[in-house]
Structure 1
Amino acid sequence: MEWRDEGILLTTRKHGETSAILEVFTAGHGRHAGLLRGATSRRMAPALQPGTQLALDWRARLEDHIGSYRAEPVKMRAGRVMGDRAALSALASVCALLAFTLPERAPHPALYLRSCALLDALGETRDWTVDYLRWELALLEEMGFGPDLTACAVTGATEGLIYVSPKSGRAVSAAGAGDWAEKLLPLPGCLFGAPARTGDVAAGLRMTGHFLDTWLAPALGERPLPEARHRFARLMERRAAGGAR
């Protein structure tokens, strides 16, 4: 069995003295692991960072074997954002969430393209933090746990949606919230194309984090969300409060 594809490096785990097991998110083969010999070499070791784009050849005697990789770096993303704390934290969060969430060997081509686009935008575009927030929503939707943000659950209105019900996952307008507003999750307008205001991304991450933690994670076996995601959310909260950048 063999195939050739490109993918985003998610995790690296040392195997023996000079090899490593790579976990990669590929366009056509989903989240896929394989053994890379010579991973500690001078040529390969610097490239084996989360987020690196790799050209891959995978071979195995049988399809269900872990198999082995031959890999060539196509794009090294971690070094490009090393001087941007927030972008580097976002890159780590994306890779950790993909490794945490995706089923093995199940293709998700639309999510793959969206993930590549986000990783390329980190630190490069003005609104990349909003792109990240939209990516988390896309991840939830791809896994079948996306909230319904199309209309108010109470009034049916499609405009003025500023909350989300933590139980039903449905959007709620200011008029529909009434006395329940304090119990609802924030729904920032930047998700609907409005300019992002201070604190919007942090508020949005509280919303997506709720559904990642209470809907998606239990479906994956009650595992806690990756610490990398918590670190990024805390960093966005501090920025919203005017803290460290």
Structure 2
Amino acid sequence: MPSLATSAIICAVRQHGEYGAIARLLTPGHGLLPGYVRGGRSRAARPVLLPGNVVMAEFRARTDDQLAGLTVELAHSRAPLHGEPLPAAAIEWSCALTAVALSEGTPHPALHQALSGLLDAVEAAPAARGWAAALVRYEMLLLAEMGFGLDLTRCAATGEAVDLAFVSPRSAAAVSRAGALGYESRLLPLPPFLLEGGMGDWDQIIDGLRLTGFFLERSILTDRRADVLAGRERLVQRLKRAVA
């Protein structure tokens, strides 16, 4: 990728040296890409290099192995949401998850579209009722894109596709009420909205976050990513307080 100009979502930024920053951006056609922003710690650059912002990005590198130089122009700012605890936690978590989970340079157009839609939903309804279910679905999609998708098509025990109410933590497959009889406490609840569509009530959303969180932690967010998991826990606790 010697040169590339594209729109992108800022997912993560870290300081590099005294004045610069390394940003990781999710692009529609090239997946997650890193770049060095000269002056990225400046007063002018900081409001642009915020997770969730949409930018027009230009990457320039001499070779494919070199970290590209990156210039960005703000296309859409979500900076005001970073001052509100609940939407800020949602933006920071979804972007951090994306930056940690994806390998660089692998296209994930469905994830880009889904993350963009999720961030739009957070912006449209900061109180969470309009985006909490979308967050669960985004985590489900990311698991599937990473090769750890859940099989919710039929019961792992009976083979039937009716009355699915649980997920096996071992196989990541759905289990019906009949198939789960006597083993319910060992299984994860499967919220109906993941099968039927719709928004789901708050109990279902919390069950959905518990479900996706289990598989994210087991399969993607391993030991070296404890700080990212802490961000997710902050979000979940804020959601629980918001609906209490």
TM-score in same-fold range (> 0.5): yes
- The answer to whether the aligner puts 1:46 opposite 2:50 as a matched pair is no
Range that drifts further, 94-103 or 208-217: 208-217
Q: Which residue of 2 aligns with 1:203?
A: 207
The letter for the 2-side match of 1:16 is: G
Which residue of the other structure, out of 173, 190, 199, is the alignment partner of 2:193?
Answer: 190
1:123 shift after superposition: 4.6
Matches within 5 A, 1:1-245: 1-80=2-81, 82-83=83-84, 85-125=85-125, 126-192=129-195, 193-218=197-222, 222-225=223-226, 226=228, 227-239=230-242, 242=244
The letter for the 1-side match of 2:219 is: W
The letter for the 2-side match of 1:111 is: L
Is the 2:133–2:199 contact (alpha carbons within 8 Å) kept by the matching residues of 1?
no
- Number of positions where the alignment pairs a residue of Structure 1 with one of Structure 2: 237
Is the 2:81–2:87 contact (alpha carbons within 8 Å) kept by the matching residues of 1?
no
| TM-aligned CA distance change 1:238 to 1:183, over 3 Å | farther
Is the 1:199–1:237 contact (alpha carbons within 8 Å) kept by the matching residues of 2?
no
Range that drifts further, 208-217 or 88-97: 208-217
| TM-aligned CA distance change 1:78 to 1:191, over 3 Å | farther
Task: Give the Cα separation in 2 of the matches to 1:179 and 1:239.
Answer: 34
Q: Which stretches in structure 2 are left out of the alignment for 5+ residues?
A: none
Task: Give the Cα separation in 1 of the matches to 2:82 and 2:163.
Answer: 36
| TM-aligned CA distance change 1:5 to 1:194, over 3 Å | closer
Question: Per-residue displacement from partner, 1:75-124 (whole Å, max 9, x unpaired)?
Answer: 112424633x3222111110110111000111111111111111111152
Task: Give the Cα separation in 1 of the matches to 2:219 and 2:74.
Answer: 36
Range that drifts further, 47-56 or 155-164: 155-164
Give the SS at the match of 1:47. coil
Report the identity percentage. 38
| TM-aligned CA distance change 1:228 to 1:195, over 3 Å | closer
- The TM-score with structure 2 as length reference comes to 0.90
Task: Give the Cα separation in 1 of the matches to 2:219 and 2:39.
Answer: 40
- The TM-score with structure 1 as length reference comes to 0.90
Question: Per-residue displacement from partner, 1:128-169 (whole Å, max 9, x unpaired)?
Answer: 100111110000000000110111112223232111001011
Is the 1:30–1:104 contact (alpha carbons within 8 Å) kept by the matching residues of 2?
yes
| TM-aligned CA distance change 1:60 to 1:168, over 3 Å | same
